């Protein structure tokens, strides 16, 4: 589906439609958010948080890498917002076969997070850790059109 958003309210409606179609899995539900800086990834995740009742002020976890919020939505109990922007993406993998960013995310407990079916994970900059993003991850693509307009695309 392709949507155009010109406001926070429109982004909220798009996020609502996306969430309506989410189906719980045997493992965590992972949503990979693709797009350049300023394309709307964090704004979309904030609207998801608003819809799911997150009362804390949500911001991009660029410096802390991940933030975890308690929620009660369908069978999901935790919304996990990860920003992989600062994670290294070296040309060559390390001894474990993972890039630097992948190793960092694994060190932060990625494997445990994705095993838990009650986790809903939104990850910005998934291309920096592409080797550990499961094939089943949902993908949303954001494009900056102008100061007030974003294009948001995803498959149901």
Domain boundaries, the chain: 2-154
Does the pLDDT of residue 94 top 90, yes or no? Answer: no
Instruction: Quick: pLDDT tens for 78-93.
Output: 999 999 998 866 545 5
Instruction: Quick: pLDDT tens for 25-68.
Output: 999 999 999 999 999 999 999 999 999 999 888 877 776 789 99
| pLDDT of 91 | 47
Does the pLDDT of residue 23 top 90, yes or no? Answer: no
| pLDDT of 15 | 97
Instruction: Quick: pLDDT tens for 130-139.
Output: 999 999 999 9
| pLDDT of 93 | 53
Fold for domain 2-154?
Rossmann fold (3.40.50)
Q: Do 139 and 127 contact (CB within 8 A), yes or no?
A: no
Confidence of residue 18 (pLDDT cuts 50, 70, 90): very high
Cβ neighbours of 152 (radius 10 Å):
25
């Amino acid at each position: 589906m392709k949507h155009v958003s010109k406001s926070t309210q429109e982004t909220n409606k798009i996020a609502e439609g996306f969430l309506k179609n989410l189906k719980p899995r045997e493992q965590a539900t992972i949503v990979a958010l693709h797009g350049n800086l300023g394309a709307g990834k964090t704004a979309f995740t904030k609207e998801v948080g608003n819809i799911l009742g997150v009362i804390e002020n949500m911001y991009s976890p660029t410096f802390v890498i991940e933030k975890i919020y308690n929620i009660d939505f369908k069978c999901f109990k935790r919304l996990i917002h990860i920003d992989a922007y600062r994670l290294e993406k070296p040309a060559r993998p390390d001894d474990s076969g993972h890039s630097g960013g992948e190793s960092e995310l694994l060190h932060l407990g990625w494997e445990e997070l994705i095993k838990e079916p009650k986790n809903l994970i939104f990850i910005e900059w998934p291309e920096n850790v592409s080797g550990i993003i499961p094939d089943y991850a949902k993908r949303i693509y954001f494009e900056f059109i102008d100061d007030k307009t974003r294009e948001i695309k995803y498959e149901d």
